[in-house]
Structure 1
């Protein structure tokens, strides 16, 4: 079971990293084209700034989910490492449950509500003419990844209490 979860997480992270690489590459090309059209052609293409803004939102949200999945997020483990080893496991689970609540309530439920409202109202972007609901999809997608990564972290903490205590102690936590 654990191997299947690890394989699934690796697949998700690889797919998300591929999507991020594509988005960053498009962002760079878009900004370069915008600079080129402004300084060489005399007038910036009107869609480049809007596309750059939307791509930056997607890269930020999905990049945050990847960082969280790779445990590069400082907010979850910093305070846990400062606690006594007996309390670390409980506090780690509490912290992950708070993150899970935030990811589900704000990113998934709230994000999906924003996407639905924008699609129902048929809001479109001024320069690109795409539906704003598609732009806002970054919220629930990032929420799904954050929720899955958080569930994996909770399973890891609960499944290996001794290894978790030793791992945190080895990383410099208070004894």
Structure 2
């Protein structure tokens, strides 16, 4: 599982770098060469979809999503553990919902082509599918892993 997390983080870094480079090229071409790149905006948009849907499970894995734990810290240990399991189950459900609903979306989108890149829109949205599957995998692993005795709900 460690290699999957490392690969996802490397992909996030590459996607962000790609977005910065393509954005820089677009600015350079537009303002210095007086010529616009027809494909740059779409590439950045589609890269952003992939970036967001892979960043969600990475942040979940690290415990970096926002939470308000003032109330949770006052709960007895047993309730905190139960709440942590319930929250992880909700993350699993969210990941599975991403997968199922994106499959439906891709079924419709496969007949559409992007204007700038000329690729199937199913490819553009496949980042939602892959990110949802990765989120579901992270949540399932966390649910099945033994929990420390003093675990707090995220």
Contact 1:96 1:153 in 2 (8 A): yes
Task: Report the TM-score, using the length of structure 1 for normalisation.
Answer: 0.79
The one of the two structures with greater contact order (alpha-carbon pairs below 8 A, sep at least 6) is 2
Whichever structure has more helix as a proportion of its residues is 1
The 5-angstrom pairing of residues 140-155 of structure 1 reads 140-155=129-144
2:112 to 103, 123, 129: 123
The total of aligned residue pairs comes to 153
Structure 1 residue aligned with 2:43: 51
Q: Deviations over 1:52-107 (max 9, x none)?
A: 111112111111221112221234x84644522120111111111122112112x1
User: With structure 2 as the length reference, what TM-score do the two structures score?
Assistant: 0.89
Instruction: Indicate the SS of the match to 2:33.
Output: coil
Tell me what 1:113 maps to.
104
With over 3 angstroms needed to count, the CA separation of the structure-2 counterparts of 1:28 and 1:35, relative to structure 1, is same
CA RMSD of aligned residues (A): 2.0
Unaligned runs of at least 5 residues, structure 1 = 1-8
Distance 2:116 2:127 in 1: 19
In structure 1, what is the equivalent of residue 80 of structure 2? 88
Could you tell me which residue of structure 2 aligns to residue 15 of structure 1? 7
